Amino acid sequence: MDSPIPHWPKNEQPREKLRLLGAQSLSDAELLAIFLRVGVQGKSAVTLAKDVLHYFGSLPRLLASSPEEFIRIHGMGISKWSQIQAAYELVKRSLEDGLAQGSIFSTPGHVKEFLQAKIGGLPHEVFVCLHLDSNLHLIECQELFRGSITQTAVYPREILKEALARNASAMIVAHNHPSGNPLPSSADQELTVTLMKALQLVDIPLLDHCIVSNRGFFSFSESGLMNIDKN
């Protein structure tokens, strides 16, 4: 049986530890415990948080959980799920705002971090377009297509229409692989060629095609696959 957190030494209590040492000093369970606030009978909030993380297997899986999944855990309810989802959404919006303020190629790691936060943990496949201006600043990150876990129907005509409507000067496209494997399929490679050819007709270069999962990240550009034959 755990003793309640208020009975712990001050420097071991998650909120006090955060105040003294900063959020980076806390474990995943300690950070989650701050949101949970209280535990259940016989378990502190930290132990309960460890149980939640063990149940889902990873933080991305927890953050992508549905309310129905979340409340199956004893002591968890819609209120706690909502608080976690709200905090997660704030982080994603903060990343998107930061990305919009500077040239994305000055911080390629930021793009990776942003895309992984945005779509990496989703249980379904989505396809997004990063519309860029002439200075490579983000105009908008737009989710265009949503599909099953195995495939997404992507229509190049729609991508061109949306890019032209936003007066985009360049574009990065990305989609997620809920399976966890970020490596491109032959269909992903064929799609990249099709999009490059289509966008070339309206003088909008496709700078990269990124594939994101909760376990990895793949960039066609970094892998040299954007130099494929367009003829």
Reported as a single tens digit per residue, the pLDDT across 42-66 is: 889 999 999 999 999 988 789 888 9
What is the spatial distance between Cα 56 and Cα 192, in angstroms, rounded to a whole number? 33
Task: Indicate the pairing of strand 170-176 with strand 206-213.
Answer: parallel
CATH number of the domain residue 66 falls in = 1.10.150
Q: Judge if 119 and 218 occupy the same domain.
A: yes
Tell me the mean pLDDT in the region 166-185: 92
- What is the chain's mean pLDDT, rounded? 88
Phi-psi region of 207 (alpha: psi -120 to 50; beta: other; left: phi over 0): alpha
Assigned domain for 95 exists: no
Assigned domain for 128 exists: yes
Q: Which residue range is the domain that position 133 belongs to?
A: 104-227
Instruction: Say whether pLDDT at 17 is over 70.
Output: yes
Residue ending a domain, among 67, 90, 113, is: 90
Q: Judge if 77 and 172 occupy the same domain.
A: no
Closest by Cα among 75, 77, 59 to 67: 77
Q: Judge if 69 and 121 occupy the same domain.
A: no
> pLDDT class for 22, splitting at 50, 70, 90?
very high
Assigned domain for 46 exists: yes
Assigned domain for 98 exists: no
Closest by Cα among 143, 197, 138 to 171: 138
Q: Judge if 12 and 78 occupy the same domain.
A: yes
Q: Judge if 86 and 199 occupy the same domain.
A: no
> pLDDT class for 151, splitting at 50, 70, 90?
low
For residue 40, the cross-strand partners are 43
Q: Judge if 113 and 219 occupy the same domain.
A: yes
What does the block give as tokens for 73? 């855990």
What is the spatial distance between Cα 21 and Cα 18, in angstroms, rounded to a whole number? 5
Task: Report DSSP state, residue 63.
Answer: H
Say if residues 75 and 48 touch (Cβ distance below 8 Å).
yes
Q: Judge if 66 and 168 occupy the same domain.
A: no
Q: Judge if 113 and 218 occupy the same domain.
A: yes
Q: Judge if 221 and 122 occupy the same domain.
A: yes
Q: Judge if 110 and 222 occupy the same domain.
A: yes
Assigned domain for 97 exists: no
Tell me the mean pLDDT in the region 32-36: 91
Q: Judge if 115 and 179 occupy the same domain.
A: yes
Q: Judge if 84 and 24 occupy the same domain.
A: yes
Residue ending a domain, among 90, 120, 148, is: 90
For residue 206, the cross-strand partners are 171
pLDDT digits (tens, 9 = 90+) for 132-147: 999 888 899 999 998 8
Instruction: Say whether pLDDT at 218 is over 60.
Output: yes
Domain count, the chain: 2
Residue with more model confidence, 108 or 15: 15
> 28-36 vs 78-100: helix axis angle to the nearest 10?
120
Assigned domain for 133 exists: yes
